[in-house]
Amino acid sequence: MKVTYHGHSVVLIESEKANIIIDPFITGNGQCTIKPADLPALDYIILTHGHNDHVGDAFDLAKKHNATIIAVAELAGYSESKGLNAHPMSIGGGYNFDFGRVQYTIAFHGSSYTDENNQIIYTGMPGGVLLTLEGKTLYHAGDTALYSDMKLIGEYHNVDLAFLPIGDNFTMGPKDAAIAAEWIKAKTVVPVHYNTFPVIEQDPVAFVNTLKTEGKVMASGESLTL
């Protein structure tokens, strides 16, 4: 399984059974080194929440690839209103797909989408995602504050790779993210959601150096194999 980080919170997973992208904010993402046309054929698009810097190119990609959007029910319903395939879920719920299992976790944040008419659409609760496939478990925390139930993720899930936001201002900052990493107990932690905008500028190297577990700073476009 190949996992590639494309800046901000964009994670591409290429597995034997499916190609999956999480929060495909590509167009307008100054951290991203690819264009939507450069992506492989996509089977699924997982969205943590409805903010435009996470939904990104999801609707266009879903239409182009005939991919299924996996999202919290309200955001999935909005996707379906655009004629797209979507699978609705809710926080705490899990589902076994053909490629593996997806379960939504709590995330303390907001969730709304601003459409082309500058109208704000409510898109349900924000979430994190536990993705289990090919015998590995990935945790994408989405946009979130630190919260104590992250300890339960570490107790009940054997997380191999965790993507945690460190940008501060809109999400937890480096100090809180380091606590989250300790609680989640992931084998490897990758910082995300930083340096895309001036207000979330952080030093990812300094962050991983504070971790008690293994941390890895991934450059945009960098891949690792699980």
Q: Which of 114, 31, 156, 8 is nearest to 21 (CA)?
A: 8
- The 3-state DSSP class for residue 121 equals strand
pLDDT reported for residue 86? 98
Banded model confidence at residue 138, pLDDT cuts 50, 70, 90: very high
pLDDT reported for residue 222? 98
User: HSE-up of 43 (CA within 13 Å, CB side)?
Assistant: 12
- How far is residue 26 from each of residues 23, 42, 66, measured CA to CA in Å? 9, 14, 18
Banded model confidence at residue 199, pLDDT cuts 50, 70, 90: very high
- Whole-angstrom Cα distance, residue 171 to residue 49? 13
Quote the mean pLDDT of the chain: 98
- Whole-angstrom Cα distance, residue 9 to residue 165? 8
Banded model confidence at residue 183, pLDDT cuts 50, 70, 90: very high
- The 3-state DSSP class for residue 27 equals coil
- Whole-angstrom Cα distance, residue 170 to residue 9? 13
Q: What's the CATH class of domain 2-219?
A: alpha beta
